[in-house]
């Protein structure tokens, strides 16, 4: 079961200039920055009320974020929802007919377990589910 929106992911070309922009917007620095070499991205997270905004920059031309930027440009990349049991939720979603990008969870930013649903099965929106470890 989905509990709440964890964050909205925004694909950006230049993380530093985007952090500067969003720092001015929110009146604060990012709460967390991280590089995820296996996902070929760098991220900056801004907590805003009960949810967050995650800025994501590709670190390699072969990363999915790089391909997204080439196709669509900067903007909303995904919406992430918190779940209690990611394995059970993946099984439920697959059984309900959703196309999974990740059959098994992987490690995401801040050590969370994450998995993505293909946007072809969710009206064009990339959905991430996440579980704190």
- Residue 30 pLDDT greater than 90, yes or no: yes
CATH number at residue 109: 3.10.180.10
pLDDT at 50: 93
- The pLDDT of 16-41, averaged and rounded, is 96
CA atoms of 9 and 68, how far apart (whole Å): 12
- Residue 23 pLDDT greater than 90, yes or no: yes
89-127 pLDDT tens trace: 999 999 999 999 999 999 998 889 999 999 999 999 999
pLDDT at 10: 98
Range of the domain at 95: 2-131
pLDDT at 58: 98
pLDDT at 1: 84
Identify the DSSP state of 59: S
Domains held by the chain: number: 1
């Amino acid at each position: 079961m989905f509990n709440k929106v964890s964050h909205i992911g925004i694909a950006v070309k230049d993380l530093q200039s985007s952090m500067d922009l969003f720092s001015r917007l929110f009146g604060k620095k990012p709460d967390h920055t991280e590089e995820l070499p296996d996902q070929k991205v760098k991220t900056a997270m801004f907590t805003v009320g009960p949810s967050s905004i995650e800025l994501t920059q590709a670190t390699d031309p072969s990363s999915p974020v790089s391909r997204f930027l080439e196709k669509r440009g900067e903007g909303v990349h995904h919406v992430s929802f918190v779940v209690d049991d990611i394995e059970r939720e993946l099984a439920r979603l697959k059984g309900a007919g959703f196309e999974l990008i990740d059959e098994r969870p992987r490690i995401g930013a801040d050590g969370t377990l994450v998995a993505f649903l293909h946007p072809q099965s969710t009206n064009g929106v990339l959905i991430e589910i996440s579980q704190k470890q």
